[in-house]
Copies of this chain bind each other. A is one copy, B any other.
Amino acid sequence: MTKQIHINEASQYVDQEVVIGVWLADKRSSGKISFLQLRDGTAFFQGVVVKNSVSDQIWEIAKSVHQESSMYVTGVIHEDSRSHFGYEIEISDIELISQSEGYPITPKEHGIEFLLDNRHLWLRSRRPFAIMKIRNEMIRATYEFFNKEGFIKMDSPILTGSAPEGTTELFHIDYFDSDAYLSQSGQLYQEAGAEAFGKVFSFGPAFRAEKSKSRRHLTEFWMIEPEMAFMHQDESLAIQEHYIAFLVQSVLDNCAYELKILERDTDQLKKYTKLPFPRISYDEAVELLQKGGHDFKWGEDFGSPDETFISEQFDQPVFIMNYPKTIKPFYMKEDPKRDDVYLCADLLAPEGYGEIIGGSERETDYEILKQRIVDAGLSLDEYQWYLDLRKYGSVPHSGFGLGLERAITWICKLDHLREAIPFPRMITRIKP
């Protein structure tokens, strides 16, 4: 029996006859030759059907098969230096599985809303295919990195009985006879994890009921949140930059084909694997903005245009360190040298992409943290379990959060987060 393979194994079967289960992505004919663009989920490549080399019946199938029909093709693999992929198959037999009529996504241009309505099909097209493969590689590399560094994955709960940072951007759920909310961040739970397991990370979905239509927001997104006990902010920054460099290097090493589909400049990406990343203080960032003509005052938070401007001043990711306390959450540790800023940093991606990581050292003192909770107008009762972490064996600890889709958007050089997740959820989109 002829061996059944996948397209991405073609290089190992040159001049051999193989069978491949495929879909027809596109086709063109030139008289007595049919060129079938085939895909099987691992890659795209060309199948060539020569009229004089096949039966009339096979030639008929090759001529009449429609876009996205499924079939088993049999043929011999050839090297083909002219093709994008480097190999093609000279087809001797076709077994049609299912003829497809009127596939809605044609080679012509379609509007984004139409494509999103058909996301279950659009994922098959070259560009979403390449992005999702890169997403997969970044997920794989994330596990490799944190496992190697001695972290354990500890899943924070998604359903939470309290609303830690206020309820305005939280999705509410009737949880039997009580209330629950979808988690925006698992960080507080990761802090409990750090005191149990030393170094932990979560990697799961997070939810934000933000009424924003910005290209940088999704209502459902995936976050990676590492938290490290016995660790100060400077060591945390070192882990962050090593992690980012590892992500980029992994994509360069394992997704050359997908980066080519996206026409991503790999020389540009290579720059992001050089460490350390530049570090500037919030104060210096404010100066940069002011010198650049931005109307920005110390103490304000950066908006997207500000982040874009700052990140464009560097050709690597840049850490902005030590933000004013007034614009950052209550659990951060005060800079011991100044009482108006925290020991924190955001990492801004270059090429104008802005924030992809936010992180800080955490406050360890029970009384200070308790007062902060009160000052923030939050319920001491809801936070007692979190305060317990400072009552029983408090240690210096730091952590950060990476938004997966933001990192993908940057590495793939996309315009909008909605292309970085298989089934995007936005204020106006909950289907399919």
Contacts from A to B (Cβ < 8 Å): 6, 21, 23-24, 40-42, 68-70, 97-98, 100-101, 103, 118, 120-121, 123-124, 128-129, 132-133, 136, 139-140, 143, 147, 150, 152-162, 171-176, 178, 180, 182, 189, 192-199, 204-205, 207, 209, 211, 219-220, 222, 229-230, 364, 385-386, 388-396, 421-423, 425, 427-428, 430-432
**7 nearest CB pairs, A to B:** A41-B198, A161-B430, A21-B230, A385-B432, A123-B196, A136-B152, A120-B192
Find out whether the CB atom of A123 lies under 8 angstroms from the CB atom of B193: yes
Contacting A6 at CB < 8 Å: which of B143, B192, B198, B421?
Answer: B198
A-B contact pairs, 15 of them (CB 8 A): A41-B198, A70-B393, A97-B395, A98-B364, A98-B390, A123-B196, A140-B143, A157-B425, A160-B431, A171-B175, A172-B173, A175-B219, A180-B430, A189-B422, A205-B205
Residue pair A423, B172 in contact (C-beta under 8 Å)? no
Number of copies: 2
Which of B143, B207, B430 is A143 in contact with, Cβ under 8 Å?
A: B143
Of the candidates B139, B176, B219, the one whose C-beta lies within 8 Å of that of A153 is B139
A186 to chain B, nearest CB (A): 9
Chain B residue contacts of A176, Cβ below 8 A = 209, 211, 427-428
Bound Cα distance A68, B157 (Å): 24
Instruction: Kindly identify which residue among B189, B220, B388 contacts A121, using a CB–CB cutoff of 8 Å.
Output: B388
Which B residues lie within 8 Å of A136 (CB)? Answer: 152-154
Give the residue among A101, A128, A175, A428 with the most B Cβ atoms within 10 A: A175
Complexed CA–CA distance, A422 and B190 (Å): 10
Contact across chains for A41 and B159 when beta carbons are under 8 A apart: no
Within the assembled complex, what's the spacing in Å between the Cα atoms of A173 and B40? 37
The reply to whether B150 and A42 form a contact with Cβ atoms under 8 Å apart is yes
> A189 touching B423 by the CB < 8 A rule?
yes
Give Cα A68 to B390, complex, Å: 11
